[in-house]
């Protein structure tokens, strides 16, 4: 049952011919009013398909909304809280990418979608946690500058013969850094039958504990096709909310309950309502940067679809 505020948001959204996109880490009340929920890749694909809507409300962090803006230059993209930034995306400024490109002129540049538009404009191609290996393997170059997440870089490096150079050396996500092998082993002892699913942004010691290193969308697919009931989820806690809503018959458990992305949680229903009424806060990317970044986004989509 939706609350009055949620119903009002639905009504306003219809009135504005809008669509609400939300990342898997949004809290339950926002998941409930979203038209589409997904991981970064699924959200990119959805954003690339939006045709008949005038207003896109993006409940995610800055780099995700920027990507939607790059893919939809003629549409109004708004984010309910303009301070919803991904700290990892800010760890790799465009100038830093240019510095590495000078140092390794023959290397290809693969950037995680968790980067700002200016950095994306310096990339040959983007990737997400769902397609990073596929993207890297699709390239002719044998040396790859890969950033900003050092753990995703490590994950890819384990599975390719190419040389993966992490840029910057220690880019990371503060949320996924919280998981330790002890958290996973503690839960595994309580639920020995459970499948352990962890995100490639987790430290390598955590990744090494399981063969299920997955994007958030990959986790949902894994739970759906698995005959198991128990799952230990090594990513942001609201991924558990998403899985429970989709599969009430399963028992997903957070590997660490305090793994909360505060940045994602800045959005609230009140702010979503405001973004629909006042059509704010508009996310824009300067045209020249958007055009360059679009090439890297499009190349990723061509490889992924």
Residues in contact with ligand 13P by the rule CB under 6 A = 24, 39-40, 114, 128-129, 173, 201, 215-216
**Partner from ligand SF4, ligand 13P, none contacting 263, C-beta within 5 to 8 A by type:** ligand SF4
Q: Is 263 in the site for ligand SF4 (CB under 6 A)?
A: yes
Strand order in the sheet with 195-198: 195-198, 230-234, 251-254
Contact 296, 66 (CB under 8 A): no
| Smallest gap from residue 71 Cβ to ligand SF4 (A) | 19
6 Cβ neighbours under 8 A, 6+ residues apart = 29, 32, 33, 269
Region near ligand SF4 per CB under 6 A, out of 158-166, 167-175, 242-250, 290-298: 167-175
For residue 98 the two structure tokens come to 């240019």
| Smallest gap from residue 3 Cβ to ligand SF4 (A) | 26
**Partner from ligand SF4, ligand 13P, none contacting 264, C-beta within 5 to 8 A by type:** ligand SF4
**Partner from ligand 13P, ligand SF4, none contacting 128, C-beta within 5 to 8 A by type:** ligand 13P
Contact 296, 126 (CB under 8 A): yes
Q: Is 88 in the site for ligand SF4 (CB under 6 A)?
A: yes
Of the candidates 267, 304, 211, 244, the residue with the CA atom closest to the CA atom of residue 58:
267
Q: Is 130 in the site for ligand SF4 (CB under 6 A)?
A: no
Residue 36 vs residues 7, 21, 173: alpha-carbon distances, Å: 17, 5, 24
Alpha-carbon dihedral sign for residues 92, 101, 302, 293: positive
Q: Is 43 in the site for ligand SF4 (CB under 6 A)?
A: no
Binding site for ligand SF4 (CB under 6 A): 61, 86-88, 114, 173-175, 201, 236, 261, 263-264
């Amino acid at each position: 049952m939706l609350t009055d505020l949620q119903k009002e948001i639905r009504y306003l959204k219809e009135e504005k011919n809008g669509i609400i996109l939300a990342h898997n880490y949004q809290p339950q009340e926002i998941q409930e009013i979203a038209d589409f929920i997904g991981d970064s890749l699924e959200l990119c694909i959805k954003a690339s398909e939006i045709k008949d809507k005038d207003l896109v409300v993006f409940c995610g962090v800055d780099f995700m909304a920027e990507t939607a803006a790059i893919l939809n230059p003629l549409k109004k993209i708004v984010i309910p809280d303009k301070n919803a930034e991904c700290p990892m995306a800010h760890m790799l400024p465009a100038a830093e990418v240019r510095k590495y490109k000078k140092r390794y002129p023959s290397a290809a540049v693969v950037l995680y979608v968790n980067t700002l538009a200016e950095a994306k404009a310096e990339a040959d191609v983007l990737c997400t946690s769902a397609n990073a290996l596929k993207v890297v393997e699709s390239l002719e170059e044998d040396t790859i500058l890969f950033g900003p997440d050092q753990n995703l870089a490590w994950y890819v490096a384990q599975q390719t013969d190419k040389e993966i150079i992490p840029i910057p050396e220690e880019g990371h996500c503060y949320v996924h850094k919280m998981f330790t092998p002890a958290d996973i082993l503690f839960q595994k002892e309580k639920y020995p039958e459970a499948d352990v699913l962890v995100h490639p942004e987790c430290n390598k010691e955590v990744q090494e504990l399981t063969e299920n290193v997955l994007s958030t969308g990959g986790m949902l697919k894994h739970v759906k096709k698995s005959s198991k009931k128990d799952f230990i989820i090594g990513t942001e806690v609201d991924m558990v909310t998403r899985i429970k809503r989709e599969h009430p018959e399963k028992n997903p458990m957070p590997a660490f309950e305090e793994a909360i992305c505060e940045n994602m949680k800045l959005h609230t229903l009140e702010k979503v309502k405001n973004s629909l009424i006042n059509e704010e806060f508009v996310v824009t990317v300067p045209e020249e940067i958007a055009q360059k970044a679009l090439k890297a986004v499009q190349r990723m989509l061509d490889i992924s679809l």
